Chain A
């Protein structure tokens, strides 16, 4: 009896000791940590064209990287004070909660259960994606609702897997899943007829189509079967840092609305006419200080990477190989979903 008791107490004390680090509420403030450390750790995707991709110049580039630059500029006034920590879908949330990264920028859909139970907080949208289908033109399919009985290539462990299941159940259709990790193998499978359709994020499908020898033989269906608001995440109960993440994004969006670009931001900062511009760029009031940042935070972020529209066009826009249209990522006044709350 005594023995069992000792063992039990030993086990409890070990669990308590090890559990301390894991579950005890962490009151450390990431903003302070980051400032003390002198740079921030940005959790980005490991290789997604247009979003986070090592370029031929050995530098990371893409929309996610640009956000990291903006954040680094906002906090330090220097766009280079960040480290890219690539995270995979499997490890991204644990990397965040185990403090390996300060912010999760990798395209991660904001969902109810993630927000509710994973110990992370949603901070802001960064890109509105959807889910669609890439299919051979010769099949003559024009709508996703004609896909009954199709063989579908799906990447494992993603929200797209579940979305497809939901979609086909809703319309009472059947499909055969072929589970292949997204990449050249999937394209090969489609080309060789192992599957009739590829499903993935619309942003990925657009660029996938370009990788075929004759892209014109393939078509991305018009249907969008899911909402995929790719978002920025921080650790739970880290509100000061969350504010910095949210409002850095908002500043870049607001800049587009106010017509502030990377090129003219200096001009605007010197001679602000619009009081909204003056507040944003720190010419009036002490708006940066409210966040614990320098007053020129927004100015620094914009001069590092430009406004939201510029970031979009440079990385994934119609001039790039990705060739995406703004679509849902247009400003609210153009009919899109991109919107920044008022700066006042």
Chain B
């Protein structure tokens, strides 16, 4: 710590001569250089501008100026020349909370807050990596389970049949992704194991879950799994779906981690072994921190894919965020306003996933060690 402080006092600004030449171009020059440097660029720039001029005004006219925002019944929309955003207003609670009891929605809000807070935790420099991992892998899933299901700490128990909308999407996406991380690590390590039994087992699990479509596994989890359970034993459908999502996503994460493992120079393993450090300590103290660091972009990519894949649960009858939108389009009152609902659903997905990808970019920059 002391050296760090003295270091920070040293003037590290580069001398004047080595500084980057200042860009003295005016805005107009810059624009010319960037967008009209040659014939092709000028043509492309102009086409984009024309496209905007053609598309944007009618779009705005439809989506905002001619649109109906106020009212609560479909009648209010009959007069609209543009979009009708009332189905979203009228069913906002359904979109977000599904059928969750109205008095308990604060628990859902808390889950959303905790999920968002996770992103903050991820990029918070003052928190150690270990603490971050504990928060994400252990604390957050436990918190989400307790809050959503209740039944402990004096919280009313809520059946998962009451989940719907964004709850399902966030719950499945988040829990599936998080719990698959430790499993993925073990599968990746097992795949490189020298013991044939472990290796073959891990390879089979990975290949099996990677080689079959998610929908097949969802059917399996939703329907067939229940048939194998002993009579009278019931596992919540949502849990079975999470189980499937975790396995599917762990299989893909295992491959990401394996790629990370292969990127670690073999000298690292050897040095650790030479120092007499055991396998698990080598893995947890030396190898994994480096592996996780290099795999973060791929992991977040897999998370984003996973988050979107949760909409597949519609085929087994779970009403996730997108399905609530579809239900809205099938309803009598709001059946005419399918486009608006699709736009709303797409926008929410975009906002969530774009936020996550921005945070992951920040995280990547932070971890950049500049080899």
Contact = CB atoms under 8 A, between A and B. Distances in A.
Contact of B331 (A53, A88, A212): A53
Nearest to A27: B231
A120 interface: no
Interface stretch (B14-22, B91-99, B296-304): B91-99
B354 to A, nearest CB: 26
Contacts of B315: 88, 90-91
A313 to B, nearest CB: 15
Interface stretch (B251-259, B317-325, B343-351): B317-325
A210 B99 CA distance: 27
Nearest to B341: A184
Interface stretch (A78-86, A128-136, A267-275, A284-292): A78-86
B335 interface: yes
Interface residues on B, range: 35 or more
Interface string A88-116: 10110011011110000000000000000
A211 B100 CA distance: 29
Given A47-B326, A100-B237, A54 B164 contact: yes
A320 B331 CA distance: 12
B330 A183 contact: yes
A137 B229 CA distance: 55
Nearest to B227: A22
A60 B346 CA distance: 25
A322 B332 CA distance: 7
A90 B318 CA distance: 13
A239 interface: no
A100 B236 CA distance: 9
Given A56-B91, A100-B237, A47 B228 contact: no
Contacts of A210: 332, 335
B234 to A, nearest CB: 7
A321 B227 contact: no
Interface stretch (B184-192, B206-214, B218-226): B218-226
B278 interface: no
A49 interface: yes
A99 B323 contact: no
Contact of A94 (B94, B223, B330): B223
Contacts of A262: none
B317 A211 contact: no
Contact of B335 (A18, A41, A49, A85): A49
A311 B332 CA distance: 17
Nearest to A208: B335
Contact of B317 (A21, A24, A46, A60): A46
A183 B339 CA distance: 12
B330 A86 contact: no
A146 interface: no
Contact of A46 (B94, B97, B237, B327): B327
A116 to B, nearest CB: 20
Given A22-B228, A58-B102, A184 B335 contact: yes
B230 interface: yes
B323 A28 contact: no
B82 interface: no
Contacts of A83: 159, 161-162
Contacts of B199: none
Interface string B331-371: 11101101000000000000000000000000000000000
Contact of A21 (B161, B164, B228, B316): B228
Contact of A87 (B159, B226, B234, B317): B317
A50 interface: yes
Contacts of B333: 56, 321
A48 interface: yes
27 contacts: A24-B231, A28-B232, A47-B327, A47-B330, A47-B331, A49-B330, A49-B332, A53-B327, A53-B331, A54-B319, A55-B331, A58-B97, A58-B102, A85-B317, A86-B318, A88-B314, A91-B219, A94-B223, A95-B222, A97-B227, A98-B224, A99-B226, A211-B335, A211-B336, A212-B336, A320-B332, A321-B333
Given A53-B332, A58-B99, A98-B224, 11 more contacts: A21-B229, A49-B330, A58-B94, A86-B318, A88-B317, A91-B219, A91-B316, A183-B326, A184-B338, A210-B332, A210-B335
Interface of B: 90-91, 93-94, 97-100, 102, 159, 161-162, 164, 219, 222-224, 226-232, 234, 237, 314-319, 323-324, 326-327, 329-333, 335-336, 338
**6 pairs of A and B residues whose beta carbons are closest in the complex:** A47-B327, A184-B338, A321-B332, A211-B335, A98-B226, A94-B223
